[in-house]
Structure 1
Amino acid sequence: MKGLQTMNVRTKPQSQTYTDLGFEVNPLSELMAAEVVGLDLSQPFDDATREAVYDAFVTYHVLAFRDQQLTKAQQVAFSEQFGPLERHTLSNRGADAFPMVHVVSNLNADGVPSGKLGSREWHTDKSFRPAPSMATILHGIELPPSGGDTCFANMYAAYEALPDAEQAELDGLRVVHSWVLSRANLGRTMSEEEKRDAPDTSHPLVRTHPDTGRKCLFMGIHASYLEGMPVEEGRARIEQLEAHATQERFVYRHQWRPGDVLMWDNRCLLHCADANFDAARYARVLNRTCLRGTPTA
């Protein structure tokens, strides 16, 4: 599937109604993101609907499908309409009959809110894989009454805002993405089995999106150091770029509604969870599937 549009962030996006297909797409910000109203994700799409949804996905980068109630099996079936699922790491594979569905939760072993919230650092999913994830699909199962937002940073816009000379400097640089080092930075020591399951991988710092041909920054918490540069110097450069790329002008904040299913493009976005709710009082439980991508270019 190939996206037919790319949204120019300087042009105010318009709503689109697909009358023949029974749904509409309404932009949620001028930068990116749109809600999709009128589709039932528990039912399979015909070819025309699947192509239209994928086109909207490439155009808006984040889609919020409203008013959904999916079982794990239905979420897997919906996801697989857009490509093969990407396996999760050993530590976050599903524990039941659905290993490809990772439960993102702040509940402890007793089912009580723990006060802890993961994924608070800016990242793109599975960037440490040789073929990083194309998309993530996240279904809100239990949400706090407010807060617990998911934030997205637009790496197209961040790259295009850099001076031409800096873009030229960054083109051609490669960055090592490391699941091991990113977990170590959060105070976690990984087992030898986990290390073998997710070895370090090198990617371009500026990647070309396979559908749009546009360039974007590719980094996040898994981006550990730049090849051919002293580690500390390379790390500082990555942190500088991340600070630039996650300015509010490049960010969309999704405020969850009950029944939301989010689908976003890992190839051109960073994302993180916002702990703007009482995580020791309220549950935040979401089911996550990831779609396998292609090697970076």
Structure 2
Amino acid sequence: MNCPTTWIPPGLLTNCSESTLRPPQVRRTQTPAPLLRGCAGRTEGDRDKNALSASHGPLWTFSNTKKWGVMGQKTEPLDERLRELFGTDARSEGPLAASGAGRRFTGIDLCRPLSPEQVAFLLDALSQFRIVSIAGQDLAAFSLAHFERFANHWGAPVPHPNNFMRGGKPAQQDGDSDGPFELIPFERRTAAAVNATFPGQLQCLPHESPAVLVVSNFRGERSAASARVTGGGSWHTDIEYERLPIYVSMFLAHKSPVARDALGGNWVQAPDGGKAHPYYEGSDRELMRLRKCLPLNGETAFADTAAAFAALPPTEQAALEQVQLRRRLNEGDEGWLAPLVRTNPRSGIKSLHSPIWASRPRVRPTIEVEGMSAEASRAFLDRLEAHVLQPQFRYDHPHAPGDVTLWDNYMTLHNSPPLKSNINSLDDARLLYRLSCKGEPALSLPRRDAPEWRTAHIPGGYATPPEIIDLA
């Protein structure tokens, strides 16, 4: 990753065209659903920890001794508790990022059902480290059913918009969020095309769940033409444009590219950074350079918005905690207000939640800061995005087959890397499975989500089938 090293100095917020050091005038409109029902948001996140413990399990504290990076945690009690809960073979490594984010665990078998104490430990680890990787699952035994069962502990798995339609139209487009929920037949989903590319060599793990998104760089019959490189995506969090955003997303890695270029030593060469696509025109040149500083070996790019918030002066932190963002699902919607700063209800760590003016250009509406004009909102959020994307807050996560990697969408941004497409070799193949979850974590299964809550927040009211929850 050939990143610029520019540091945006203190005073980040004071150079905007409209003052942000006084609270914006907030209209009294409906506020978003909380991250974890009853204990989220920038004021409720600091509730008495005994109350949190009652609903979310015991709070193992990993902090207050040896520090790493901006927001590091001590390792000794974490490792002791890890081995107590998961056995003497369990180990941890981290932080994975210079910012203090990221923890990698080995020796945890996710084929086995988890106890409430084990779930609480992992919940607390994510609340501290923002990104957690549970490495080395045996793909001969660990199925996508095991993966979805595990996801139920983090929230209710959400059908991905690529797997369903609304009123016969794609669900991932502006204006196409209404209408009857209709699952796309499995033979028309990505998995079917992936399975046709390398028959007998590489096939998706069996599944039909609408919550599982297949992420790959090959879809269909191979071509005689040479592979081409497509640029990365836009920085975002998952489904922040709904009233109840995604809490946790996770990948299961099946195949990672191993081919390397003889000249550069990377899988791909950096695409031309001079083009605005996929972003809108008009952004600052330095911001565009930061946006396009992406990994070149198929890693997932992350930015640590908790460390980025912690690095700001206290006066600017206090000002940002007063900021409300108006988010919309579709153009023309009135939208709703959502806090820019969130407090994690388990760790108390504050972070910037999706400080992006246009996280899905031409797909979802841009964001406005309450009390600011559209032009000033873009300037304000572009400066925040440039701050968050500085190298000291960035981390590129490599995927190895069998790794399950989770991230907290309230405490991170992420982006897809440049990819080879139209590939002809398994050495270039990248195949991942993704699940995303909403709502409260569950220490034990099955989940107890109210039917009316599912209807309001989960497309099609989807619930993981009992036969998956009850896997031996």
Secondary structure of 1:139's partner? strand
Q: Which shifted more, 209-218 or 121-130? A: 209-218
- How far off its partner does 1:142 sit? 2.2
**Corresponding residue of 1:284:** 430
**Corresponding residue of 1:104:** 215
Could you tell me how far apart the structure 2 residues matched to 1:111 and 1:73 are?
29
1:267 to 390, 405, 410: 410
**Corresponding residue of 2:459:** none
* Percentage of pairs with the same residue: 28
50 and 245 in structure 1: CA distance in 2 versus 1, 3 angstrom threshold: same
201 and 120 in structure 1: CA distance in 2 versus 1, 3 angstrom threshold: farther
Tell me if 1:25 matches 2:136: no
Q: Which shifted more, 2-11 or 93-102? A: 2-11
Tell me if 1:131 matches 2:234: no
Per-residue CA distance 1:248-294 (angstroms, 9 max, x = gap): 1011211122221101111211111222x534432222111111036
- How far off its partner does 1:86 sit? 2.6
Q: Is the 8 A contact 2:217 2:420 kept in 1?
A: no
Aligned residue type for 1:121:
S
Where do 1:53-202 residues align within 5 Å?
53-68=122-137, 69=139, 70-89=142-161, 90=164, 91=171, 96=186, 97-110=208-221, 115=228, 120-145=233-258, 147-178=297-328, 180=330, 200-202=335-337
Q: Which shifted more, 115-124 or 207-216? A: 115-124
Per-residue CA distance 1:211-242 (angstroms, 9 max, x = gap): 22332111231562212211111012111101
Could you tell me how far apart the structure 2 residues matched to 1:72 and 1:19 are?
26
10 and 58 in structure 1: CA distance in 2 versus 1, 3 angstrom threshold: closer
Aligned residue type for 1:26:
E
Secondary structure of 1:159's partner? helix
Could you tell me how far apart the structure 2 residues matched to 1:71 and 1:114 are?
30
**Corresponding residue of 2:340:** 205
Q: Is the 8 A contact 1:207 1:218 kept in 2?
A: yes
- How far off its partner does 1:47 sit? 2.1
Unmatched runs of 5 consecutive residues or more in structure 1: 182-194
129 and 158 in structure 1: CA distance in 2 versus 1, 3 angstrom threshold: same
Secondary structure of 2:377's partner? helix
**Corresponding residue of 1:5:** 61
- How far off its partner does 1:124 sit? 1.1
Tell me if 1:215 matches 2:284: no
Q: Is the 8 A contact 1:36 1:66 kept in 2?
A: yes
**Corresponding residue of 1:184:** none
Q: Is the 8 A contact 1:106 1:115 kept in 2?
A: no
Return the TM-score normalized by structure 1: 0.82
Aligned residue type for 1:233:
A
Could you tell me how far apart the structure 1 residues matched to 2:62 and 2:336 are?
29
- How far off its partner does 1:80 sit? 0.9
**Corresponding residue of 1:185:** none
Aligned residue type for 1:164:
P
Q: Is the 8 A contact 2:237 2:413 kept in 1?
A: yes
Q: Bigger radius of gyration, 1 or 2?
A: 2
- How far off its partner does 1:10 sit? 5.0
Could you tell me how far apart the structure 2 residues matched to 1:179 and 1:5 are?
37
248 and 94 in structure 1: CA distance in 2 versus 1, 3 angstrom threshold: farther
Q: Which shifted more, 19-28 or 56-65? A: 19-28
Could you tell me how far apart the structure 2 residues matched to 1:122 and 1:94 are?
27
58 and 169 in structure 1: CA distance in 2 versus 1, 3 angstrom threshold: closer
Alignment RMSD (CA, Å): 2.9
- How far off its partner does 1:108 sit? 2.9
Q: How many residues align?
A: 278
Secondary structure of 2:157's partner? coil
Q: Is the 8 A contact 1:225 1:234 kept in 2?
A: yes
